[in-house]
Amino acid sequence: MTIKRIDDLNLITRITILVCGVIIVSLLITGFLISQFIEQRTISGIEERARNVSQMVALSELTVSQLEAGNPNGEIQPFAERIRDITGVAFVVVLDMDSVRQSHPVEEMIGQTFVGGDEGPVFEGVEHISTAEGTMGYSLRSFTPVINDQEEQIGAVVVGILLDDVKKEVWGSHFIILFGMVIGIIAGIIGAYLMGRKVKKIMFGLEPAHIAKIFEERNAILQSTKEGIIAIDKNETISLVNYEAIRLFKKAGYADDPVGQLIQNYLPDTRLHEVVRSGKRELDQEFELNGLILVVNRVPIIVEGDMVGAVATFRDKTEVKKMAEELTGVRTYAEALRAQTHEFMNKLHVILGMVSLGRYEELRQFVKETTRQSQSEVGNVSTMIKDPVLAGIIFGKMSYARENGIKLELADTSHLPVSNKVDTTHQLVSILGNLLDNAIHATNTKKKPIELEIYYEDGVLEMIVTDYGTGMTKEQLIRATEKGFSTKGKQRGMGLYLVERTVKELDGKLKLHSEWGNGTSVYVKVPYQPRGETE
């Protein structure tokens, strides 16, 4: 038979054993102390009863007068027996000064000398209690001297209670205590079992080992995630912060441990406490923390319909922006390649048609013109725009504009050297790509081309994109850079918003000029460091 360790037992069994052990030990100790106390009180009560009876007999006028007279009529015996019957003691013995019995439950013992050897002190006038063996067995005996009116001792009274009777009374008190202990233990077992079931129900039926494992896994997940996480309880006190959140807080200049602090005291403008109060989630919000821009999601925590707190997840916007810029650049490159591929396929179809028709002279002129136009565009753009990435974007947008029946022209005076920062190139790709896309979408006439001007001089880059499309009203111009605002319908309105945000990140300036029906002009001015120059 295998004996299970305490750690291998389930929660209910462990709680039952623990509670029962505590109850049993407590009841045993308490029962022992109470038993000793009650036993002492019981013995004291028996002694007091024996003393009272002996004093009562010793003070009786009948006893005093009969002992003075030598008990000629034997009246002491019936008197003593009557007292014994009334009080329930084992014997009431009256002695004269020679220790001769004047009364005894066994009449044959009357007139004989008292047996026990513990009567000495009483004949010296000392009242005392002792335990000794007499003619009726072991007994607890109370001795009281009999004093006459002249204050002379004329005898003694001995009242005894058999020790077997004393033990019966003591055992009776012990039995009550033991009965109470058994009832207490049974109640403790039942209570412990019910409490164990209740605790396990609260813990969703899981054992402590399972809960510990889940807790460790949850901590590992929280600490390993790339996003910062901070949670508060319903009292708006910070209850959880992961490593990434602490790293971002330290980056922003917050060094204290936030756990246990009020969220309003640690991060006054976080709005996380507002989520607890309103119960509404706030997604993809920007939050500035001592100059560090974070992208935050705030969500309430609701358990069984009750608000128990809120949690916020956040990332450094710089990292998110870097990923977005890379994605934007890839998308722009893909669109440029798609436009060029589409244009090239159209020209191949024209060439195939001319070959099929045998129009070789027209074919020669078409190929010559196409080659000249392509070389002219590529040559002009490459000559003026030294950065191959930006040159590729411009060339791709020219193809895209032609695909839409619109002409995009790069000003002959344009000039842009290669940047000494790859990040700056990505940001310019985002700015230029969005501005040209907006201009192409806004242009509804083929008479006037979209004009692009790019200038660099003394560490400053200036770009001007002008279209002659529908333009904007004054009201629309005011809201043009708002996130989500667009004159082209829903799910739009990100282009100028991203342009303005990127220009601000480059410490540049953005100006818009537009008239309804006469088109729009966008002016961008940003710091720019060419390759080979130092700031």
Q: Which tens digit of pLDDT belongs to each residue from 217-240?
A: 667 666 667 788 888 888 888 888
Q: Note whether 226 and 316 are within 8 A (CB).
A: no
Q: Which segments in the chain show pLDDT lower than 70?
A: 1-12, 31, 35, 38-39, 165-167, 169-170, 172-174, 202-212, 214-215, 217-218, 220-224, 317-351, 354, 360, 363, 366-380, 382, 445-447, 484-494, 532-535
Look at residue 523 in the predicted model and tell me its pLDDT: 92
3-state per-residue secondary structure call for 364-424: HHHHHHHHHHHHHHHHHHHHHECCHHHHHHHHHHHHHHHHCCCCEEECCCCCECCECCHHH
Pairing, β 450-457 against β 228-233: unpaired
Domain 223-317 CATH superfamily = PAS domain (3.30.450.20)
Pairing, β 228-233 against β 292-303: unpaired
CA-nearest of 257, 68, 92, 77 to 150 is 68
Q: Note whether 388 and 420 are within 8 A (CB).
A: no
Look at residue 108 in the predicted model and tell me its pLDDT: 85
Region of 405 (left: φ > 0; alpha: ψ -120 to 50; beta: rest) is left
Domains of the chain by residue range: 13-169, 223-317, 359-527
Look at residue 491 in the predicted model and tell me its pLDDT: 45
- Burial of residue 231 (CB within 10 Å: 0-12, 13-18, 19+) is buried
Pairing, β 408-410 against β 450-457: parallel
**CA dist., res. 466 & res. 522, Å (int):** 6
Same fold, 13-169 and 359-527: no
The fold adopted by the segment(s) 13-169 is Beta-Lactamase (3.30.450)
What are the angstrom distances between the C-alpha of 322 and each of 422, 482, 523?
A: 11, 21, 24
Spatial strand order of the sheet with 128-134 comes to 91-96, 153-162, 137-147, 128-134
The CATH number of 359-527 is 3.30.565.10
Q: Note whether 270 and 287 are within 8 A (CB).
A: yes
* Max Cα distance, the chain (Å): 178
pTM (predicted TM-score): 0.40
**CA dist., res. 426 & res. 419, Å (int):** 10
Q: Which amino acid is at 282?
A: E
